[in-house]
């Protein structure tokens, strides 16, 4: 798989968690009892997999290679992706904080969980669409073959380290746990 195919493949797992988050927020919004731990686990997945593992490869490797082709980092497609990563981090922190408040007994925090989850899910769905259909094809066009080979080597190094530490299995299991919780 090419680096952009790896990232697109990771998007499928992220989308599966977005689906779970959206369903849980809809249920919570309609008055169902969704335990705050569900949202805390989802926030852990987002921070650990979507942000650290996935966005880490994008920000530290792919976007660096793209800006090395004279694509600006402070404007244009890379800048938009970076801004959206930051926005996603803010939504995640907000729904995590609200879920912690729910866990401590503040039921009124459910509304903040719901609104921030919906905002995060909507942002990420659009973000993934832009990456898969615009940014990644653009990267394939503008990054030279030799530079893309270096991107691939860097991806493989990062992924091997993650695999050594059990990272992929941990987050796939967490995604499955979220799905199972909703099916109970």
Each residue's pLDDT tens digit, 151-170: 999 999 999 999 999 999 99
Per-residue pLDDT band for 149 (boundaries 50, 70, 90) equals very high
- Pairwise pLDDT comparison (8 vs 71), residue with the higher score: 8
Fold that domain 3-183 belongs to in CATH: 1.20.120
User: Cα–Cα distance between 128 and 109 in angstroms, integer?
Assistant: 28
Per-residue pLDDT band for 77 (boundaries 50, 70, 90) equals very high
Per-residue pLDDT band for 184 (boundaries 50, 70, 90) equals confident
Query: What does the pLDDT read at residue 85?
Result: 97
**Residue 43 scores a pLDDT above 90:** yes
Q: Measuring CA to CA, how many Å separate 104 from each of 37, 94, 98, 99, 100? A: 11, 15, 10, 9, 6
In the chain, where the domains are located: 3-183
**Residue 98 scores a pLDDT above 90:** yes
| Secondary structure (H, E, C), 52-95 | HHHHHHHHHHHHHHHHCCCCCCCCHHHHHHHHHHHHHHHHHHHH
**Residue 2 scores a pLDDT above 90:** yes
């Amino acid at each position: 798989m090419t680096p952009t195919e790896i990232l697109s493949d990771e998007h499928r797992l992220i989308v599966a968690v977005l689906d779970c988050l959206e369903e849980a927020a809809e249920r919570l919004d309609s008055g169902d009892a969704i335990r705050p731990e569900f949202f805390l686990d989802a926030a852990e997945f987002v921070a650990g997999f979507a942000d650290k593992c996935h966005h880490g490869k994008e920000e530290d490797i792919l976007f660096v290679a793209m800006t090395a082709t004279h694509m600006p980092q402070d404007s244009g497609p890379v800048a938009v992706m970076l801004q959206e990563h930051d926005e996603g981090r803010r939504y995640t922190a907000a729904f995590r904080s609200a879920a912690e408040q729910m866990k401590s007994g503040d039921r009124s925090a459910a509304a903040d969980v719901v609104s921030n989850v919906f905002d995060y899910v909507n942002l990420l769905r659009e973000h993934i669409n832009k990456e898969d259909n615009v940014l990644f094809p653009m990267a394939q066009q503008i990054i030279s073959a030799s530079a893309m080979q270096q991107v691939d080597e860097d991806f493989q190094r990062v992924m091997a380290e993650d695999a050594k530490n059990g990272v992929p299995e941990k987050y796939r299991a967490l995604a499955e746990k979220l799905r199972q919780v909703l099916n109970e």
